[in-house]
Amino acid sequence: MSSDHVRWSRTKIIATVGPACREPEQLAELIRAGADVFRLNMAHGGPEAQQESVDTIRRVSAELTLPVAILVDLAGPKFRLGDVAEDRVFCPRGDLFYFVAGEPQAPNEFTTSYEPLLRELTIGDTVMLADGTVSMRVEGKQRDRVELRVLNQGIIRSRQGINLPGVKLSAPAISVEDHQHALWAGKAGVDFVSLSFVRSPDEVRTLRDIVRSTGSKAGIVAKIEKQEALQRLPEIVREADGVMVARGDLGVEIDVARMPMEQKRVIRTCQEFHKPVIIATQMLDSMHESPRPTRAEATDVANAILDGADACMLSGETAIGKYPREAVDMMNRIAMATEETMRGRPLRKLAEADDGLHMITRGVVRGAGTIAQIVGAKLVVVASHSGRTALALSQQRSFIPTIGVSTHDSTLRKMCLYWGVTPLRGAPATNLEQLIRHMDVWAAGAGLTKPGDSIVIVGGSHLTAGPDDEEMAAGVHDIVVVHEVEAASD
């Protein structure tokens, strides 16, 4: 691993894989530019196509000797229009349109992919089409048709998404197809699986059970994109391993004027529960077509980082855009410039949370961050079995580079989502003396330390008791070592 990897932004970057970046060299370019996680969108390709991407990402990661995580994004219960007349219809304000059960007989009649919709809509409900640009209100119902009046006019096209803000639906959060895709993701060994349109913590638990049934320990990411999710936010965050603010559908499901403050609230809640939070959708949207973002987009990324986002996500910018490498590089540059202004902030205090940390480990993590600041350490190294301790260190938001080491590649890849943590493959994670010697050589070679500098190492009794010690498996970290780098012997 080159020292450049440690000098990338502390905020992690998620890049969506698509036609614009699917080839090995294209993926390698994105990793070199700063991509930490690759997202595979199951709405645009089934397991067979996505398995090829998984294999390519793993191969490129191994060739570059840089751990990279894979996030599989399940499509969720997305409702869509059927085919409309001539593939597009203009809906004037005040006109009437209809959802119908059978085949449309007129240009103002639509069908939907969600068969129970006609039964579950009620008079007064709002229907949003074309990414929220066209809105209609339910004004009448019959057994086989629903009458809609246009409130905001615009053009709708075949198979566009339907949003139903505030409408209670019977559709399960995990469709039959999602269930199959989740099983594939677990068997494929991906690192994170995200659930769309989450409404309750039970849905997060259900997805975890499905993924765990394959033997996978992939983290479950809850996508916040419905009003119901905002109403049960603390419960959902507590249950999930990570959270994504999916601003595309959320900005349609709620008043877009509320979006900025709801985004901040989600970030604060994730901080309270020590869960990584991802901000997604339209972050550098103009870079679909332009090599440079707008000023507003750059400011959007910076403000998300200042608010405490662990990761920012690129969607179409990398999947289908003209400038995928430039988009990753730009996000990295914005993040680094923003983070420079955050230096000198006091360490964030770790709130008490049900995050699986042993109370001793929690105390050690708090102490390690403070000790590293007092002694002016150049590096903090954490040896972690599951990655939870590395995540806790990440939540302190220390600007001292944090290196995560583990005997498990899956743990190293999970660290790719943790703010400020650089996973290091190949370091001995079960013996203190060997780890110290390895880090001395590696850090000096990377230009990060010189003789006399301090390195703080956080670990458990396994570092001194040997690789068979049970402390590591139990997740107990009870050792903080301050090591002074020695001059290399001839």
- Lowest-pLDDT choice from 64-73, 298-307, 413-422, 480-489: 480-489
The CATH number of the structural domain formed by 3-76+172-340 is 3.20.20.60
Q: Average pLDDT of 50-60? A: 98
Average pLDDT over residues 386-401: 92
Segment 305-331 mean pLDDT: 98
pLDDT, greater one: 201 or 347: 201
pLDDT value for 461: 63
Percent of the chain with pLDDT over 70: 93
Handedness of CA 416, 418, 419, 420 (dihedral sign): negative
Would you say residue 132 has pLDDT above 60? yes
Confidence class for position 475, pLDDT limits 50, 70, 90: low
Tell me the pLDDT band of 354, cut-offs 50, 70 and 90: low
Which region among 17-21, 184-188, 357-361, 413-417 has the lowest average model confidence (pLDDT)?
A: 357-361
Whether the per-residue pLDDT at 473 is higher than 80: the answer is no
- pLDDT at position 319 over 90: yes
> Is the confidence at residue 469, as pLDDT, over 50?
no
**Predicted confidence band of residue 91 (pLDDT cuts 50, 70, 90):** very high
Average pLDDT over residues 430-434: 85
Average pLDDT of the segment spanning 275-295:
98
Active site residues: 39, 80, 223, 281
For range 424-443, the mean pLDDT: 88
Q: What percent of the chain has pLDDT over 90?
A: 74
**Does 233 score more than 80 pLDDT?**
yes
Positive or negative torsion for Cα 200, 204, 207, 209: negative
Q: What is the mean pLDDT of residues 408-417?
A: 96
pLDDT, mean over the chain: 91
Q: Is the pLDDT reported for residue 164 higher than 50?
A: yes
Q: What is the pLDDT of residue 468?
A: 44
Q: Do the domains at 3-76+172-340 and 359-484 have one common CATH topology?
A: no
Superfamily (CATH H level) for 359-484: Pyruvate kinase, C-terminal domain (3.40.1380.20)
Whether 105 shows a pLDDT value over 70: the answer reads yes
pLDDT at 3 over 70: no
- Residue 397, pLDDT score: 94
- Dihedral sign, CA of 452, 455, 461, 462? negative
pLDDT at 474 over 50: no
pLDDT over 50 at 471, yes or no: no
Residues 383 and 462: their CA atoms lie apart, in Å, by: 10
Q: Could you tell me the CATH superfamily of domain 79-163?
A: PK beta-barrel domain-like (2.40.33.10)
Domain edges within the chain: 3-76+172-340, 79-163, 359-484
pLDDT at 490 over 60: no
Return the CA Rg of the chain.
Answer: 24
**From the CB of residue 401, how many other CB atoms can be counted at a distance below 10 Å?**
20
Q: pLDDT band for position 346 (50/70/90)?
A: confident
pLDDT value at residue 1:
58
On the question of pLDDT at 465 being above 90, the answer is: no
User: Does 358 or 29 have the greater pLDDT score?
Assistant: 29
- Residue whose C-alpha is closest to residue 157's, from 88, 102, 107, 222: 88
Q: Is the predicted pLDDT of residue 353 greater than 70, yes or no?
A: no
Per-residue confidence at 7, pLDDT binned at 50, 70, 90? low
